[in-house]
Amino acid sequence: MITIVDYGLGNTQAFANIYKRIEIPVTFARTADELAGATHIVLPGVGAFDWAMERLQASGMRPTLDRLVMEEKRPVLGICVGMQMMARRSDEGDAAGLGWFDADVRRFDEARIQGRTRLPHMGWNDVAPVDDVGLFQDMGSSARFYFLHSYYFAPNDPTDVLAVTAYGDEFACAVRRGNVHGVQFHPEKSHGWGIQLLKNFAGL
């Protein structure tokens, strides 16, 4: 069962609508008991890093989430701030992240970005996967996704990088470490490519 962590942040209904459209069972988890039965976990997020971590802690689901992901190795997909929360910390605030990756979240260096409007990185951009399996299976070589962010995920282990995008400099827009996956872009706003990615996640 695809379970969407509903801790008050992220467009949870948009993900549910996509999964229902492609006939994959989906449910929401607002409590630890509801989360416990998940076979696949979607962790969405929008807004500020510290606020997202605070809301997750307040939901009471954090210990169960850590257990399912780190001990029971159930597949998880973090999206946008949900991905950033998987790092140790963020330049955006003071809260500790989930620490599932040896990574930090950094603010883009605006001096390296061309154009009048530099931040946030908003709109469609090309995504280059390191391989065409897993999340990016059956995507082809022209995958494009919708972004909206001013901070990026910076893993210290290059083998964690699953895909890259260029905005000023090249950055990791998707990461993977075993059962833990994260994407900086919004698959729920990315039309056919986003639908395929969510379908691929359900098959992991």
* Catalytic sites, residue numbers: 80, 186, 188
Using CA atoms, how far apart are residues 172 and 165, in angstroms rounded to an integer?
7
Strands (E), 24-179: 26-29, 40-43, 76-79, 89-90, 103-107, 121-126, 128-129, 144-149, 151-155, 161-167, 169-177
**Running DSSP on this structure, what letter comes out for residue 112?**
G
Residue type, 79: I
Using CA atoms, how far apart are residues 168 and 110, in angstroms rounded to an integer?
8
Specify the DSSP element, H or E, that contains 182: strand 180-183
Contact 65, 85 (CB under 8 A): no
Q: Count the residues in the chain.
A: 204
SS3 sequence of 153-177:
EEECCHHHEEEEEEECEEEEEEEEE
**Running DSSP on this structure, what letter comes out for residue 6?**
-
